[in-house]
Homo-oligomer: A and B are copies of this chain.
């Protein structure tokens, strides 16, 4: 890291002292544990409203939903676009849930920032530096996902592109890295939680849905993420996963989600997140 003189991420409140920030009425900070949930992709008004109702009833405090979906193949479902954004925003208002959605193009940032509460940068765009600078010039909180082959240092440097533009509200999100193992979609790297909590005061979320990629293994990893000291989770929930237009195999049903949040309630929030050196 020789080329960085004084990265902004270390100029913030030292790790463990609280820090954090608000997203509307939701506090993201040490001592808190925040659950953002919703479908991979917004598919219809019925789908997003039903999901918003269900996840709110089970403890989610933010609503996620993709409208612009970066897909490996150009022939896969690409999302509803701005129509999806509007439906998400509407559902968020109806249920009093701040919203999170991915933006994929610097040109879309102002319009997206006007509609959703948190701008998500997807794993594939973690080093799309023009996009990072663009969200750095907004006043919106940003949820920055780790690239699936990015080191933690590269994640922090990607966050620095946003911070350097003047936007201090960045959430880092571990979502699994690419390894040789094929049993799971990715390998969820929960070491990221203590490592990032030591190096920065930025909040750290975990996305077990993409990290594991198989519905029935997501619950244990949600519990592990909270126990490791994550500040929050990002989870995919769908009214009928088998009919989902994208990533259905990793979407939780409403019942799955309720069971998982009940289990999570049995694990305390750990603030003393690390043993001294």
Which A residues contact B (CB, under 8 angstroms)? 3-5, 7, 70-76, 104-107, 124-125, 127-130, 147-149, 151-154, 157-158, 160-161, 164, 177-184, 187-191, 193-195, 198, 211-212, 215-221, 223-229, 252, 256, 259-260, 263, 266-268, 270, 272-277
Contact = CB atoms under 8 A, between A and B. Distances in A.
Given A5-B75, A194-B221, 10 more contacts: A3-B75, A73-B160, A74-B129, A105-B130, A190-B190, A194-B220, A219-B274, A224-B227, A227-B227, A259-B275
Contact of A183 (B153, B217, B276): B153
Nearest to A222: B227
Contacts of A106: 105, 107
A141 to B, nearest CB: 19
A259 B115 CA distance: 46
A167 to B, nearest CB: 13
B220 A274 contact: yes
Contacts of A191: 181, 183-184, 187-188, 211-212, 217, 221
Residue among A158, A181, A193, A263 with most chain B CB within 10 A: A181
A188 to B, nearest CB: 6
A70 B194 contact: no
Given A223-B227, A224-B228, A227-B226, A152 B128 contact: no
Contacts of A225: 224
A198 B4 CA distance: 32
Contact of A149 (B180, B193, B273): B180
A187 B274 CA distance: 18
B76 A3 contact: yes
A144 B125 CA distance: 16
A64 B151 CA distance: 28
Given A71-B129, A190-B224, A217-B195, A180 B180 contact: yes
